[in-house]
């Protein structure tokens, strides 16, 4: 699937964080871009003037067929999701997103779409491989025997398999990445769906602003993760679409950090040290998770490269700007 010729491309979920960045990048490359999202336009992180923007519910089959008309490629980044605070308490809502990928796959098959991308997640990996903070990085084959995150992880694993089955039975040209936590500007930073990097940036900004130097951490702060900056996510997707690799592949940065370590970096950016209060009753997810990048290295000859300090600086500054704008009474997307 060459990225060089101009194509008509659907970005499903393009009102969201990753989809908004992807739509901008595809437009900059000269493609015709159709963006579809269920949220009203004023809730989109980025609205690109040059794209055809549609507010539609992609759980509905007809909507998928309509917005995909004439498209050469489809990127499915649409789903009902959030950080641990959201997915642990909204399992059924997460499962319903299976309708989005199912109907998009059917429309792509019936309309002769040449390339289909599905955004899976590291939440497909079994809990039993992630119960130690000192983790063995997860390789793709570790997804089985399956015991993913209840709700969200099962939906992702099922949808991955459906992509695989569509490829085998109908010849659909699918690509699947298992994203490990992605962060960056123009994403959820408040309101309950935000993930750790954005949540901690916001809490530190609040502490700087209010002078209240206590900070609440979910769990004991020793749980570990890896975090990938949005630029690496876009770069990875472009490389995967160019490649002929069709099985699910990790896309994550292999720089393991504890939540305490993440906060250390953010405190360094803000030039502040806060008093940490650990709330063990809050959702923490798995104990440790990292991405094994051997397969992406051997298939794409590349792996995510932006280090945390660089990516967090940019993310912190963007959230700080949103925080200031909201304080001035301006309407900002959360």
Using CB under 6 A as the criterion, which residues of the chain lie in contact with ligand NAD when the complex forms?
13, 15-19, 36-39, 57-59, 77-81, 100, 119, 121, 179, 181-182, 187-188, 195
Q: In this structure, what token pair is assigned to residue 194?
A: 């935000």
State in angstroms the smallest separation of the CB of 178 from ligand NAD: 7
State in angstroms the smallest separation of the CB of 233 from ligand NAD: 8
State in angstroms the smallest separation of the CB of 57 from ligand NAD: 5
State in angstroms the smallest separation of the CB of 208 from ligand NAD: 25
Going by their DSSP bridges, the two strands 8-12 and 73-76 should be labelled as: parallel
Catalytic residue among 152, 229, 316, 323: 152
State in angstroms the smallest separation of the CB of 214 from ligand NAD: 27
If the CB atoms of residues 122 and 265 are measured against ligand NAD, the closer one turns out to be: 122
45 is catalytic: no
Task: Report the residue count for the chain.
Answer: 334
CB 178 within 8 A of CB 224: no
Q: In this structure, what token pair is assigned to residue 120?
A: 């899976």
Residue among 92, 283, 87, 277 at smallest CA distance from 193: 87
* Distance in angstroms (rounded) separating the CA atoms of residues 259 and 196: 8
Number of H helices, E strands in the chain: 11, 13
Q: In this structure, what token pair is assigned to residue 184?
A: 């960056």
Q: In this structure, what token pair is assigned to residue 289?
A: 């998770």
If the CB atoms of residues 19 and 219 are measured against ligand NAD, the closer one turns out to be: 19
If the CB atoms of residues 31 and 193 are measured against ligand NAD, the closer one turns out to be: 193
The phi, psi pair for 75, rounded to 5°, reads: -115, 120
The phi, psi pair for 10, rounded to 5°, reads: -95, 130
If the CB atoms of residues 77 and 254 are measured against ligand NAD, the closer one turns out to be: 77
Residue whose beta carbon is closest to ligand NAD: 16
CB 21 within 8 A of CB 46: yes
* Distance in angstroms (rounded) separating the CA atoms of residues 24 and 295: 28
* Distance in angstroms (rounded) separating the CA atoms of residues 40 and 182: 23
If the CB atoms of residues 273 and 310 are measured against ligand NAD, the closer one turns out to be: 310
Buried b (16+ CB within 10 A) or exposed e, 99-119: bbbbbbbbbbeeeebebbbbb
State in angstroms the smallest separation of the CB of 166 from ligand NAD: 17
If the CB atoms of residues 251 and 274 are measured against ligand NAD, the closer one turns out to be: 251
Task: Kindly list the catalytic residues.
Answer: 152
């Amino acid at each position: 699937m060459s990225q060089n010729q101009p194509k008509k491309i659907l970005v499903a979920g393009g009102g969201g964080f990753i989809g908004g960045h992807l739509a901008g990048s595809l437009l900059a490359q000269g493609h015709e871009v159709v963006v579809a999202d269920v949220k009203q336009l004023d809730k989109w992180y980025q609205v690109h003037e040059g794209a055809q923007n549609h507010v539609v519910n992609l759980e509905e089959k007809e909507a998928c067929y309509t917005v995909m008309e004439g498209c050469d490629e489809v990127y499915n980044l649409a789903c009902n999701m959030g950080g641990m605070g959201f997915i642990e308490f909204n399992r059924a809502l997460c499962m319903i997103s299976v309708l989005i990928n199912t109907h998009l796959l059917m429309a792509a098959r019936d309309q002769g779409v040449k390339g289909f991308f599905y955004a899976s997640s590291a939440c497909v990996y079994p809990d039993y491989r992630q119960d130690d903070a000192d983790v063995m990085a997860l390789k793709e084959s570790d997804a089985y025997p399956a015991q993913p995150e209840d709700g969200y992880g099962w939906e992702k694993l099922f949808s991955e398999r459906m992509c695989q089955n569509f490829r085998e039975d109908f010849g659909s040209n699918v690509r699947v990445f298992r994203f490990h936590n992605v962060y960056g500007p123009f994403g959820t930073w408040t309101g309950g769906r935000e993930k750790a990097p954005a949540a901690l940036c916001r809490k530190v900004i609040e502490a700087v602003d209010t002078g209240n130097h206590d900070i609440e951490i979910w769990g004991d702060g020793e749980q570990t993760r890896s975090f990938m900056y949005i630029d690496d996510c876009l770069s990875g997707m472009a490389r995967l679409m160019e490649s002929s690799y069709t099985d699910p592949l990790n896309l994550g940065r292999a720089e393991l950090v504890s939540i305490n370590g993440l906060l250390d970096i953010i405190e360094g950016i803000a030039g502040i040290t806060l008093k940490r209060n650990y709330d063990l009753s809050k959702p923490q997810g798995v104990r440790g998770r990292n991405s094994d990048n051997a397969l992406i290295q051997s298939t794409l000859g590349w792996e995510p490269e932006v280090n945390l300090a660089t990516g967090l600086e940019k993310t912190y500054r963007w959230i700080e700007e949103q925080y200031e704008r909201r304080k001035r009474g301006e309407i900002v997307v959360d």
